[in-house]
Structure 1
C-alpha cells in the first residue's frame, strides 16, 4: 500500500459512479478508508426505542427517506512500519442475502493495488457478518498469508458460541444469518485468531481496545503517530448517534451499555479533537466530533484532493 498510488479523492473505476477509497495520513501511519458498498435497512433500525413520529421528524430534517435508506459500509487498511492491517472485512457475497451493492471490499482492495497476500494482520471490531463476511468469500482464504494474525476480543469469540438476541430489534432473518456467519468464521479461521482481553498494540501506534456495548467484545482501533490521532469506531457510532446518542440501534445486543459507550467515546473525541472514522457513517466518514449542548455534532472533513 502506498499513498502515492491512492490519491485522497480517487478516480472511480469505470463501472462506479463515485469514488470508493480515500487516503489519510496520521503521522507516519498510512490509512486508506475503503467502501464495501451500502446496505439498505429500515429506518427503525436507527432508534427503535423512540416515538416513530420523533424518528420520522429527525429523518425529514436530515433529508433522509422515511422507510429505508442506505447504510455505508466502511473498512480501513492501515500501514504501520512493515505491517499492513485490514480493519474489518466487509459483508462478503452471500447470494442468499440479495445485497448486490454491498460486499465490494475484496474487489476494491484489488482496485487500490492491495494484494491480499501482503496483509499481515486483521483487526475485527466485532463478528457481525458485515465485518467478517469478506474473509468468507470463495477463494479469499487461499490468497491470505498462512501466518496471518486475526485480532479479536476474547469476549467476542465467547459471545458467538451462544449469542443472545433478546435485546436486538432486527429485520426477520438477520439473527439467523448473523449466527451462522459468525459460527462459520470462527470455524474456518480458528487457528489464526489472536484473542485479547481488553487492549492490544497490534503495530506501532495501532491499538485495539475493547468497548463492549454493541456486542460484548466490540472494539475500537486507535491510531497515534507524530502527534496526530484517529479512531476507527466500528459500530459504536451511527449517523443519528451524535444528536441522539441515547437512541438504540437495532443491532445492539446491549443497547443501554452501547449508549453509555457511545457517550464516553464521543465525549473523548470532542475533547481531543482527533479524527473519527466509523463503519456506518457516510463514506469516507472522516471527520471530527464537536459538543452541541448536551449532545454532539459531526463535523465532516473537507475532501483533500
Structure 2
C-alpha cells in the first residue's frame, strides 16, 4: 500500500492542482444559429432534397370546423401552445438524372426576416439556383411564388422554366381578377403577378391542363379547393413514388386527426376538405412517400389511417441510402 501511495501521490497532487483551472475555464460564445435546412432521401433512382425556406406564426383561429377549445386541445397534445403556431415553408429539389426540379420556391422576401432562406439552403445542399432547370408550382400563394424573384424583382432561377396549372395561372395572373378583388386581397394577386413577371417576359412560364404532365415521369393530381388550380406532383422511379402535395395540410396537430378542418386561406373550403380526405385515403392505401409545404421540416413521410382520421409518420434522419449488401436486422 505504501508503494501505491508513493507512485500515485504526485498524480493526485497534479490532478488537484488542475481542478481549479478546469473549473475556471469558460466555453466559447453561443452560436445561436441552426444547421443548413436540407435533408436528402432516395426515391428509386431519384434524389429528393427537402429545403427549408423559413417559417411564419399562424393563429389557431384560422382553423375552421371545430371549436377553438377543441383546436387548442389538439394543439396541446403536440405540446403546441401560445397565440401563434410555427408553420414551416418547405420546398423540394428533385434530381432525376435528367432534370433538376424544384417544387415551390418559398416565401422569399415577402414575409420578412423569418423566411427567404431557400437560395442559401440550395447552396448548402451542394447545388445552385442557376442549376435548377424546372420549377413546378403547387399553387400561386405568396409563400410558394415569392421566392421566384429577389427583392428587386429579378429572377432568382435564371435558367428555369416555371410550370403551373392553367386554372391557377388564369386566376392569379388575371388583371381583371386583380381589379375585382377586395382591397385586402389585391396584394396577393400583385405578388403572384410580380413574382412570375420576369419568367413571363422571358417566355419561361408554361401552363398545363387537367391530367397533363408538365415533365416526363411526373404525374399531376388535381387538388383544387385551397386555390382554383392547386396541384400535386407525383414522381415515380424504379417502383417507388413520392407525392408533393403542396398546401393540402397546414396543421399536422389538427388536420390529420380531423381532415374536415379547413383553414382561412382556402378559396373553397368544401373542395379543399374533399381533396384532403380523398388524397390522404389514397396515399395511405398506396403507402407512398408524401411531402408537404407546411408540415414540420423536413416534411417528408407517410400517412396512415388512424381511427376515423389519419396520422403522420415522418421520415427518420439517417444515411442517404442503405449501403449495398448490408442485410436488415431481424
TM over 0.5: yes
Which segments of structure 1 move beyond 6 Å, counting only runs of 4 or more? 163-166
Residue 260 of structure 1 corresponds to which residue in structure 2?
A: 274
Q: Residue 44 of structure 1: which of 61, 81, 84 is its match?
A: 61
Which structure has the higher relative contact order (CA within 8 Å, separation 6+)? 1
Ranges in structure 1 where 5+ consecutive residues have no aligned partner: 1-13, 167-171
Q: Residue 217 of structure 2: which of 205, 208, 229 is its match?
A: 205
2:70 & 2:155 partners in 1: Cα distance? 49
Contact preservation (8 Å) 2:49, 2:93: yes
Residue 24 of structure 1 corresponds to which residue in structure 2?
A: 41
Cα 1:202–1:30 change in 2 (3 A) is farther
Contact preservation (8 Å) 1:93, 1:134: yes
Residue 71 of structure 1 corresponds to which residue in structure 2?
A: 87
Cα 1:19–1:136 change in 2 (3 A) is closer
Larger radius of gyration: 2
Ranges in structure 2 where 5+ consecutive residues have no aligned partner: 1-30, 320-330
Do residues 144 (structure 1) and 157 (structure 2) align?
A: yes
Q: Residue 220 of structure 1: which of 223, 232, 251 is its match?
A: 232
1:88 & 1:53 partners in 2: Cα distance? 34
Q: Residue 128 of structure 2: which of 108, 115, 118 is its match?
A: 115
1:25 & 1:205 partners in 2: Cα distance? 16
Residue 236 of structure 1 corresponds to which residue in structure 2?
A: 248
Contact preservation (8 Å) 2:145, 2:196: no
2:226 & 2:313 partners in 1: Cα distance? 23
Q: Counterparts in 2 of 1:1-305, with a 5 A limit?
A: 16-45=33-62, 47-94=63-110, 97=111, 99-138=112-151, 141=154, 144-146=157-159, 148-160=160-172, 161=174, 162=177, 175-190=185-200, 191-238=203-250, 239=252, 240-305=254-319
Cα 1:154–1:220 change in 2 (3 A) is same
Contact preservation (8 Å) 1:80, 1:204: no
Deviation by residue 1:177-204 (Cα, 9 ceiling, x = unmatched): 3222012124332221111011343444
SS where residue 224 of structure 2 aligns?
coil
2:153 & 2:290 partners in 1: Cα distance? 29
1:50 & 1:282 partners in 2: Cα distance? 22
Quote how far apart the aligned CAs of 1:205 are: 2.6
Contact preservation (8 Å) 2:161, 2:199: no
SS where residue 263 of structure 2 aligns?
coil
Residue 11 of structure 2 corresponds to which residue in structure 1?
A: none
Contact preservation (8 Å) 2:153, 2:194: no
1:186 & 1:37 partners in 2: Cα distance? 21
1:81 & 1:200 partners in 2: Cα distance? 22
SS where residue 93 of structure 1 aligns?
coil
Cα 1:293–1:103 change in 2 (3 A) is same
Quote how far apart the aligned CAs of 1:19 are: 4.5
Across the aligned residues of Structure 1 and Structure 2, the Cα RMSD in angstroms comes to 2.2
Contact preservation (8 Å) 2:60, 2:84: yes
2:286 & 2:146 partners in 1: Cα distance? 33
Q: TM-score, normalised by structure 1?
A: 0.85
Between the two proteins, the alignment pairs up a number of residues equal to 281
1:134 & 1:79 partners in 2: Cα distance? 20
Cα 1:15–1:132 change in 2 (3 A) is farther
SS where residue 237 of structure 1 aligns?
coil
1:58 & 1:270 partners in 2: Cα distance? 22
Cα 1:110–1:140 change in 2 (3 A) is farther
